[in-house]
Structure formats: C-alpha cells, structure tokens
Structure 1
Amino acid sequence: MIRYEIKKIFSKTMNKAALLVMTAILVIVCLFTLNSVYCTDESGDHLSGIAAAKKLREMQEPWSGHLTEDVFAEVIRKNAQINGSEEALSDDILKQNQAYAKKQGFGDILNLLNDMFSPYRDWDPFMANRLTEEDAKYVYEKRISGLKEFLDSGEEYFSENEKAFLVERYEALKIPFYYEYMGAWTALFPKVSTFILLLALVIGFLVSGIFSDEFQLKADSIFFASRLGRSKAVLSKTAAGFLVTTVLYIVFAFLYTVIMLAALGAGGADCPIQFQFRKCIYNITNLQAYLLIIAGGYIGTLFAATTAMLVSAKTRNTALAAAVPFLILCTFPFLSRIIPLPGLCTLFPDRLMDIFNNMLHDFSLYEIGGTVMDALVIVFPVYFLACVVLQPVVYGVFKRVEVK
C-alpha cells in the first residue's frame, strides 16, 4: 500500500512538474557553485570553474601541511616581497593581477592571518600586509586573546559562565591547523543552504496533497469505507510522506555534493572550519561542518513536510498545506527582525536550513541551571523530537476524520 501511495504522489502532473523544477534547480545551483571558484593565472588572466579549481590546486599544493610558526613567517615574508615588487606597485592592472596571482598559493593562509589579527567585530582584509615575521609566533594566541578582549569590552553581554564556555571552546581547538586545497568546500558552504531550502519547499509541495486529495477527488467515502481505510491505509499515507521526504532529500543532497566534489576536488575535508569562520565555536572540520548543515537541513525539511501533511489532513485543503513549508522556513526570518526577542528567534525552525550563517558563523548561547549550551544542542534534538511526535499525530488526525 505504501508503494501505491507513493505512485499516487508522482502521478499528479503538478508533482511531476515540481520534480522537473527541482532537477533544473540542481543544475543551476551546480553551475553557480562551479563558477564561484575563480583564480588568476601567471599571465594575469582570470579563470573560473573547473579550470580555476585545477589551477588553484596546483598553486596551493606546495603549502599543504600543518601551519606552524615557520610557515606563517614564510607567508608573511613572501607577501611583503610580492607587495614590494614592480608588478604590485605598477599602475597597470594586468601587472597588478600578475602580482596577485603569485599570492594565490598561500591566499587561504593570508586570509587566516587577516582573520586572526583583525579586531573581533571588524575584519581587516589588509591586516596581513602590516604583519612582520615576528608576529608569526602569536597567530593562534591572537585568536584567543582577541576573544577575551571582546568579552571584556562589554560590547555584548555574556555571563561569567558564558565567557568561560567560549574561552574553553577556543582553547580546545587543535593546533597547529592542517591545511590543503579546499576549493570545493569554500564553494559549497555559501550555496548549500539555498539549495536545501529550495529542496524543502519542493518536497513540502509534493506531500501537501497526500491527505487532502482524497477529499478533493471525492474519494474519501470510498477510502474510509474500505476494510483497512482507517488503519493500514492511513498508516501507508503517513509512511509514504516520510519516505518521499527522506529519499528525495538524500538523493538531491547527495547528487549536489558528489557533483561538486567530483568537479572541484574533495581535498580539504579535514581542514578546520575556522578557515571559513574564524569565530566558530565548534571545533570541527570542513566535512563535519558540511554534514552538520545537511543534517540540519533534513530535520528542517522533515519538520516542514510533516507539518504540511498535518495541515493537509486537518483542513482538507491542498493549497493551504502547500503554503505551510514556505510559512515555516521563509516567514520566520522576517519575524526575527520584528520580534525583539533574539534569544527566542535563534530557536526558530528556519535556523536549521541555514546553519552556515546562523550557527557556524556566529554563536548563540543559553544558560540553564548554570549549564551553558549553544543553539545547536537545543535546536537539533527539539525539532527531531517534534518530527517523531508529529508522525503519530498526523496518523491520528486523519484516522478520525469524519466523512461528510
């Protein structure tokens, strides 16, 4: 019966069109992600896409390894040398591009130096140009001391427990950092949140009519009059919605990830996420951060889709049910700008769809009974539990529907 319900979902013309739209979105997002990788070659010409990724990998390969004091000192020395070169000081844009090309091999490390030495709330893209080789000794220390200065400045309020929690997280980060080419991950992080949000909206549309269509097709009396109409048949619909949500999410997220890693290279999976987000309090790698984003997106998608199914069963209105994922995932970000309760807003379900910006890029802390927790520790289990609880609720609501 589950297979039959799944066939019914994909037999609708609108749902077939929605799948085609999602496939088109996959292709478009892949192209945008590919073209977000760019570099400048030795002649000063700009490259993008796969060609740029290949060139960057060649340039950055010599700098692969652990970033020790000696490596930072060498980067600072080479950067100063290039800045003082004839090409860099020239008024000719082409020659300036040629000088810039010489920095790309250690460009990520240069950006890391900018991150570490910039004021906590004021990133300076030229900070590395003012560093000396002596500063190489203090790169990792500067990240921690910068946090402490920010906490003591009073710009934002943190309790003593929260301050201790943040400093402890920063100090627990494994050093020296491991570095290698990570172009694919740098390209994936800004785009994946948009992709999974669009995927969630399409999936929500697909399952929105799973219950209400029985009424709109005037088949409800036959459905509930059958021997298993209020038991196994309802259970099959609920299971079909769960399976469609899960399988489609996994397939499209997998395709997007595999295509990008195959095209741009999977290197850099073990590099710390702090290359992407200097203030991140999670001591995890690029791969672990990406899996966290995908997992959060799945929970958010399942929550939105299950809620849409509940509305479908309760209201018998497919259009209203189809609007639910949009309301949950796209309206809450606007509410967070209106509601003067930032602590509450960081727990809205839309946060799961954009972990890249909402949780990895900055931090939100909660202190309960003297124990400090970050938002991920709360949001993940809360909405996962909500998804589990809503499944039998959806089943119970449709099982008790009265035929009019």
Structure 2
Amino acid sequence: MIYELKKIFSGFLAKLSVILLIVLVFAFSVFAFSTYEAGDGTYKGKAGFNYEAGLEEKYEGEIDSHLIETFIDSIDLDGGKDKALVSVYTKFPSLSTTILNAYQPLQGGNAKALENLLETGGSDFYDRNVINIKSMLDERLNTTMSEKEKAMVIERASKIDKPYEFEYFGEWNLLYDVFSVIILISFIIIIFQISSIYSVEAENSMEILLRSLGGNQVRKIIYRKIAATFVLVTSEVLIVSIIFTLVSFYYTGLRGFNAPVQLFYFNSIYDYSFGQTYILIILGFLLGSLAIAMMTFLINRFVKRSFQAFILGLAALLLPKLLGFIMVNNNIFLKILRSMPVNLIQIGEILKSLYLGLFGNLQIFSIYLLSIFIIALTSLALIFKERKL
C-alpha cells in the first residue's frame, strides 16, 4: 500500500496538489470569515460575529409567546415596511431570520412575511413549518413527489421538538456555504490525484512487466491500490475538515452548536442541531470523496490515461448537478423524458416508492447510501474484473 501511495505522488503535480489543497482550504476559509461585516461594516471577522451575538444575548432561551411579542413590539412601521425590515434585521439579526422565515410565503419576500406575522400576532409560529412544507409540496414539488412521500414529510415535520432553544446562529449558514465550496474543491483535487492510480504503470512503461504476472498477483495489486485510495482520501478529508473547523470556529466560536436547524431552515423536517448537521456534512464529505475517488479509479482502469480519467471523473461529478438543474428548470426536458418508450420519470417514481417502503423518509441519508453503494460496486468491479493491467 505504501508503494502505491508513492506511485500516486511520484509526479510533481501530484505533490503540488496536496500543498495546493491545504493552502486553498486555509486561505479561502480565512478570507470568507475574516471579511464578514456587521454593524454597517464597522465590525469585521470575529468582531462582527461577536457584535451580532451581543445584540441578542438577552433574548436567548426558549422561543415563547413573550419573545415573539417582544419582537413584534420592536417593529416600527412609521417609515414603511422596508425600513422596518432593515431595522429589525439590524437589531435582531438571527431572531429576525427565524421568525420571518416562519412566515415567508412562496412569493412576496420578507415584506409579505412581515405582513403575515403582524396579521397573526405570531400565535401560529410553531405550526408554520408544517404549513410551509405543505405549501412547498403542493406548489413546488407536486410533479415530483408521490402522495405517500408527501404524507411522510408532513408527519416528520409535525413531530419536531418544540419549543426551539434560541441562540445567535448567524455564523452557521455562512459556515455551511463556505464548507460546500471547500468540499467541491477537494473533490476536484481528489479526482486529479486518483486519475493516474491505475494508468501510472502504463504511462511509465511498466505495463508489459505487470502483464506477465498472473491474475492473482494483479488482484493483489488492485487490493493495494484500493487500500491506498481509501487511506489517501480519508487522510485528506480529515486534514481539510480539521483545518476548516479550526479556522471557522476561531472566528465564530461554538455558539448555536446545540440550537435546532429550524432557527434558520424553518421548513426542515429533521430535528437536528446546527452542530449535528455539521458532523453529518463531514461524514457525507468522507463518503462522497471515497465514492468519487473509486469512480475515478474505475474510469482510469478502462481508459488507462490520466488526463482522460480526470476529465471523465469531473464529468461524473458535475453532470448530475447539471442534469438536476435542467430537470427542475426545464419543463420541455421533462416532457421529452416522459415521451420516451420507457418512461424514465415513472421508473424514478417506482424506485423512490421502493426506497421509501424500505427505509422510510430518510432523504438526508440518501447521499450516504448512494456513496456506500458506489464504493462497494466499484471495488467489486475492480477486484473481479479479469482484464489485466
């Protein structure tokens, strides 16, 4: 395995990729959090987060009728709704997000959310996530979700623990956004590193020697390459996660770690805290990295050229995102799929129903299940494929 790792990093660019990954993660993290501004730009970085947290310290605790009434009483409509919105977001940056997100309509923005809040007086705050989810299911997802799945989503939303424990959480959404970019950067670099793991022998005139070995010996080499891939990817994911965590928590602290994600993602159906969600993201990062690495490994075995494997690995990473965007935003594309001799949309619904029947509504774990399936499938394909190096 050590020998296979050495072969991966035998080239200058492979060594440089590790340094580049560490530098990019550190630099991007520092830049993202150090440039955060609060108080009309008066406070930046760590001081900005501390300033905003200080505004809401006295409101921390359960979100009850008294807290909502205090928020409503702070709204000054003399200058109009737009000015009132600016004012409350300035005075209560996180609390305003939580309460107004609850009343956010599908159309109309924050001004309409403020109007809805004032009409009800906040009396239905804890029913709003179920109401919002029903609206989304009916108006946005009615063509892609079965009635069974809708019912399961609503049931889960109605069982979220209440009341919510409020704490300033302004940093968490930024943390998730920055980490998502870092994960994408990591995927690309991992694809580059693994794109030569199989072809390194062919590109260094060692293929003839390896062809002379028996099938069992070739499989042993594959075992070592798979082990090297797992060690490399796991190590880099841990390094990236540790660097990002240390940098981000230096600027933000651990505020809101145990606060429910509903404080920001009000229509979430999962009863997790911001910290638990962060841990789940890291786990998904690891499994996703291993899956994309093993896919690249398998591609490299067939094409036997590093550059082609890198390009195809990128395509495997990015095309599903592009396809998902097209399907959501292009009705013509959906009509074409439905007009095929084999209705791909209907097949997708059948598979989704089977998935729900077996596992229930566990969408947040779909990436884990899919990644594990890809890792297992590609590993077996590499081990049992009779084709030699």
Map of 2:320 onto structure 1:
332
Contact 2:222 2:382 in 1 (8 A): no
Q: More deviation in 238-247 or 29-38?
A: 29-38
Distance 1:369 1:24, change over 3 A: closer
Matched AA of 2:19? L
1:208 aligns with 2:195: yes
Q: More deviation in 161-170 or 258-267?
A: 161-170
Q: Alpha carbon RMSD of aligned pairs, Å?
A: 3.3
Distance 1:54 1:376, change over 3 A: closer
Any idea what SS the aligned residue of 2:168 has?
Answer: coil
Any idea what SS the aligned residue of 2:121 has?
Answer: helix
Distance 1:183 1:151, change over 3 A: closer
Map of 1:62 onto structure 2:
58
State the TM-score, normalizing by the size of structure 1: 0.80
Any idea what SS the aligned residue of 1:304 has?
Answer: helix
1:76 aligns with 2:72: yes
Map of 2:48 onto structure 1:
52
Q: Choose from 279, 287, 298 the match for 2:275.
A: 287
Any idea what SS the aligned residue of 2:361 has?
Answer: strand
In structure 1, the gaps of 5 or more residues are 90-95, 349-364
Higher RCO (C-alpha under 8 Å, 6+ residues apart): 2
Contact 1:66 1:179 in 2 (8 A): yes
Distance 1:125 1:33, change over 3 A: farther
Partners of 1:272 and 1:283 lie apart in 2 by: 7
Partners of 1:154 and 1:12 lie apart in 2 by: 49
Q: Choose from 93, 102, 106 the match for 1:107.
A: 93
Matched AA of 1:332? P
Alpha-carbon displacement from aligned partner over 1:366-390 (angstroms, at most 9, x marks no partner) = 4339846353444421331220232
Contact 2:52 2:93 in 1 (8 A): no
Partners of 1:100 and 1:193 lie apart in 2 by: 28
Contact 1:18 1:206 in 2 (8 A): yes
Displacement after TM superposition at 1:280 (Å) = 1.8
Displacement after TM superposition at 1:149 (Å) = 5.4
Displacement after TM superposition at 1:148 (Å) = 4.1
Distance 1:325 1:123, change over 3 A: farther
Map of 1:14 onto structure 2:
13
Map of 1:259 onto structure 2:
247
Partners of 1:366 and 1:122 lie apart in 2 by: 32
Distance 1:155 1:244, change over 3 A: closer
Partners of 2:232 and 2:141 lie apart in 1 by: 47
Displacement after TM superposition at 1:126 (Å) = 5.9
Partners of 2:160 and 2:54 lie apart in 1 by: 29
Distance 1:146 1:211, change over 3 A: closer
Map of 1:186 onto structure 2:
173
Contact 2:299 2:313 in 1 (8 A): no
Distance 1:127 1:240, change over 3 A: same
Alpha-carbon displacement from aligned partner over 1:130-175 (angstroms, at most 9, x marks no partner) = 7449613221123323444565679835544333222211211111
Matched AA of 2:297? M
1:277 aligns with 2:265: yes
Aligned positions, number: 368
Partners of 1:335 and 1:18 lie apart in 2 by: 29
Contact 1:64 1:179 in 2 (8 A): yes
Written as runs of structure 1 = structure 2, the 5 A alignment for 1:120-159 is: 120=106, 122-125=108-111, 127-128=113-114, 131-132=117-118, 135-148=121-134, 156-157=142-143, 159=146
Map of 1:31 onto structure 2:
30
Partners of 1:239 and 1:152 lie apart in 2 by: 47
Q: Choose from 81, 99, 104 the match for 1:118.
A: 104
Q: Choose from 198, 202, 206 the match for 1:219.
A: 206
Displacement after TM superposition at 1:252 (Å) = 0.7
Distance 1:314 1:172, change over 3 A: same
Distance 1:309 1:134, change over 3 A: closer
